[in-house]
Amino acid sequence: MPNEIEIKLPLAGAAEGRKLLGGAGFRVSRRRVLESNTLFDTSQRLLGCEGCMLRIRQAGRHAVLTFKGPTTIGKHKSREELEVEFSDAPKLAAMLARLHFRPTLLYEKYRTEYRRQGESGMATLDEVPFGAFIELEGAPRWIDRTARRLGFQESSYITDSYYGLYVAHCRAHRKTPGDMTFRRHA
């Protein structure tokens, strides 16, 4: 099964990310788009208890259903990832409800995808309600080489999820975590 291997790198802001990626020869391969993500689980949270995730991601007219398996964390985050594209997010959500899955979390991010010609890895500039990050996804050697090219050391690698980072951010600012949306944190 295909594995997703990735890290996140912290930024002072999105402008810094655009400058770093452009300076390292990356070009936009998919323009900035708002992604709305809804996680689903059973009422007993069977997927979450197993370290798994089921998500519907909608970005404009593009929608993807994703299953992610348990995470293996080392220097990089790795987990099984299965995805399928579809055209009707509300109908798929209704189907999941009929299968006893219910929405458990809504989170948003603005994402711009970048690539370097001739390389198989992908960099994304992710803007979330509490900050900005570069995410590098690809082979471990490509990730390490690219992070160095962007000026980051291994000590900067983040393997936590955006929601995990959001919960930590809320604790640090004495806020109650909930859905991670721009409207909620405007």
Contact at 8 Å (CB) between 180 and 166?
yes
- pLDDT digits 0-9 by tens, 75-124: 999 999 999 999 888 899 999 999 999 999 999 999 999 999 999 999 99
- Banded pLDDT at 36 (limits 50, 70, 90): very high
Distances (CA, A) of 19 to 48, 90, 125: 37, 37, 11
Of 2.50.20.10, 2.40.50.140, 2.40.320.10, 3.30.70.250, the CATH number of 3-172 is: 2.40.320.10
Render 105-133 in DSSP notation, one character per residue.
Answer: EEEEEEEEEEE-TT---EEEEEEETTEEE
| pLDDT tens profile 124-150 | 999 999 999 999 999 999 999 999 999
Q: What's the token pair of residue 2?
A: 């295909």
Tell me what the mean pLDDT of segment 35-64 comes to.
94
pTM attached to this predicted model: 0.93
Helix, strand, coil tally for the chain in percent (to 5) = 25, 45, 30
Domain positions in the chain: 3-172
State mean pLDDT over 17-31.
97
